[in-house]
Amino acid sequence: MKKISIPREWKEIKKKHTDAIILFRIGDFYNIYEDDAEKASYILGITLSEEGGRMKSSFPKHALDAFLPKLVRAGNRVAICENLS
């Protein structure tokens, strides 16, 4: 089974912000990886995928205004990463 590919940039950001859920925007979706994905899927009621032992969840960018407050109200620190190129 193929492993979910986690962007190198996400890994670098997560090392610096270990206590935050990282929302990593790729195209029209915010992707969430590893333990963050498990936590966010439970809080938000979104699908959690597992491939090759790596966890991932995602939601469309237009849902950010609804989902961000839920994550924060649940006591989480959240970092939003946008693609600037």
pLDDT per position as a tens digit, 39-70: 999 999 999 999 778 899 999 999 999 999 99
44, part of any domain: yes
Strands (E), 1-85: 20-26, 29-33, 49-51, 54-60, 77-81
- Position 73 scores a pLDDT of 98
Within a domain: 2: no
The total of structural domains in the chain comes to 1
Evaluated on CA atoms 52, 1, 9, 65, the torsion sign reads: negative
C-alpha 35/C-alpha 12 separation (Å) is: 15
Q: What pLDDT score does 2 carry?
A: 59
Contact between 23 and 81 (Cβ < 8 Å): yes
1 lies in a domain?
A: no
- CATH code of the domain in which 39 resides: 3.40.1170.10
Whole-prediction pTM value? 0.89
**Does the pLDDT of residue 85 top 90, yes or no?**
no
Q: Examine residue 74 and state whether it is found in any structural domain, yes or no.
A: yes
32 within a domain of the structure (yes/no): yes
Domain of residue 53: give its range: 8-81
pLDDT value at 5 more than 80: no
Residue written as tokens 């090759």? 52
Is 24 among the domain residues? yes
